[in-house]
Amino acid sequence: MRKDLQLLDGKNLSFLDSHASLRYPFHHRYVVEMHRVQQKMDQALLTSAVRFLFTFHDILRLRVAADESTWITPLLPDEPVVWVNIPAASEEEQQQSMRTVMKDIYQTFLDKSEFLSRFVYFHCENSHYDFFCMVIHHILADGYSMYILSHDLLRVYLQLCRNQLPHLAVKTASFYEFTERIRRYLYQEFPAELEHWRSLALRTKPFPVDYPEKRMVNPVTGETNVQLSLPRKISLALDEMETRSLLSAVSAAGSSLEDALLAGLVKALTSWMGQSDLHVYTINNGRTLFQDIDVSNTVGYIALGAWQYFSLHPELSSKELLSSISAQRNRIPYKSVGLSLAINCAEHRQSLWSQFCTDEDKAILREVYFSDNILFNYLGKEFHAFTKKDLFLRAEQRYQDLVAPVAIEQTIVGLQRPCKLSLVVVMRDHQLFFTWEYEGTLYRTSTIESLAQVQINTLRAICSFSRREA
């Protein structure tokens, strides 16, 4: 046994191997954030603060062996912060230096003996601002986790500046406990949902595209594969007043904002497709999935995907539309996350799984899982809303793009979501921002612009019925 092997809570971490979030190419996915530092930081104190994060959030110490088995090590990185001095130069030259550093940083992830996170401080000479970058492999973190880590880091650093002993709030459930809750759900609760998935298999249809001759189909399995071209984007937004009106409308209707966003999306797509049924792949941050476990301040890839089906009558009013979507979502057990988790257990031959899931059921689950769909990801409120008075301030988008993981290009293999059209929504500065991503090889720009506008108009209609009733 390796000397640095530690069993978390006395249990081996092999459970991670079957966690749905981990079944992605090992070197392909990272969560990255760049912060502008308002007041230059002390190297020794920052190093101590980051080291404390590794101690407190034990998932940061996760290691992956050559066979991709996992464990938590009690060891800490020797140099938890990569400190980079950027010489005085033009902004363009500074950015080029940062880009070169980040390319080298991403290459270090290829060494599986390393930790799966990097903290990089760019000390910019003769500049009012420095920059601090966090790069966390997606095995360890989702977007919500980055909020936790950045705020915890700032809190600990300021404590050290005041010569205080670092301390954070009491931990919520560990990532291990969360995955054990998932395991219990799969083996004890999910079997009751199999009939639901059997019925959905009869309703899966190819998702329409403008250029069907460009659709990629695996000739062996019949699965529709992801196009490998770079997606195009269209961005829209509701202004602050419209966003506030929408929030009031969904609250008055006893629905959620996510229900309203899905109502607009479903309305746009079913109108375009000329059918009443729609298959949507949604992302949930996972923190509210189970009522019997608290993971509100837990770092880890807890966000989970769900396949949801909606059926709408084309003549529904905006109020009826919202009510229908809310009612259909409320009838889905556990927000329908079971399918992606079940597929991964079946794919990796979990022994207990075969006790209640027949080969016929596995085939049905695969048929639904690999069917065409649109991805919907509501990120919620952008957490990193540091103010100008804080030590950190989220860097401008050009710096986020600068540190994005573009250095490693690898072909995606294994399980894939066959989404060729996606909608990401985020609440930023009291406004809702919508980003539609689509494959240019499959869709006309005019098609996506039309869909995006129908969704926006539907949301405005929901706002208007609230004002009329008021």
**What are the tokens at 107?**
């290459």
299 lies in the same domain as 183 = yes
Radius of gyration of the chain (CA): 23
280 lies in the same domain as 326 = yes
pLDDT for 232-249, tens place per residue? 889 999 999 999 999 999
Mean pLDDT, residues 410-422: 50
Higher pLDDT, 387 or 415: 387
- Beta-sheet strand order (sheet of 419-428): 232-238, 431-438, 419-428, 373-381, 277-284, 304-311
**What are the tokens at 241?**
């007043």
Query: What pLDDT is attached to residue 167?
Result: 92
The structural domain count of the chain equals 2
Query: What pLDDT is attached to residue 332?
Result: 80
Query: What pLDDT is attached to residue 142?
Result: 84
**Residue 431, in any domain of the structure:** yes
Mean pLDDT, residues 397-421: 60
pLDDT for 173-200, tens place per residue? 988 888 888 888 888 888 888 888 887 7
275 lies in the same domain as 313 = yes
From 161, 190, 221, give the residue that closes a domain: 161
**Residue 392, in any domain of the structure:** no
Q: How far apart are CA 303 and CA 19, in angstroms?
A: 11
**Residue 155, in any domain of the structure:** yes
Query: What pLDDT is attached to residue 375?
Result: 86
157 lies in the same domain as 270 = no
**What are the tokens at 173?**
């459930």
Query: What pLDDT is attached to residue 464?
Result: 80
105 Cβ partners below 8 Å, 6+ apart? Answer: 82, 118, 120, 135
CATH of the domain at 297: 3.30.559.30
- Between strands 277-284 and 373-381, the pairing is parallel
Q: Is 90 exceeded by the pLDDT of residue 65?
A: no
pLDDT band, residue 456 (cuts 50/70/90): very high
pLDDT for 363-390, tens place per residue? 788 777 777 678 898 877 765 555 556 7
262 Cβ partners below 8 Å, 6+ apart? Answer: 280, 282, 308, 310, 325, 329, 376
Contact in structure between 341 and 20 (CB atoms under 8 Å): yes
From 135, 161, 187, give the residue that closes a domain: 161
pLDDT for 314-352, tens place per residue? 888 888 999 999 999 888 877 778 777 777 666 655 555
**Residue 101, in any domain of the structure:** yes
Q: How far apart are CA 207 and CA 212, in angstroms?
A: 10
pLDDT band, residue 355 (cuts 50/70/90): low
227 lies in the same domain as 304 = yes
**Residue 254, in any domain of the structure:** yes
pLDDT band, residue 416 (cuts 50/70/90): very low
pLDDT for 35-55, tens place per residue? 999 889 999 999 999 999 999
Q: Which domain holds residue 146?
A: 13-161
The overall average pLDDT reported for the chain is 80
329 lies in the same domain as 355 = yes
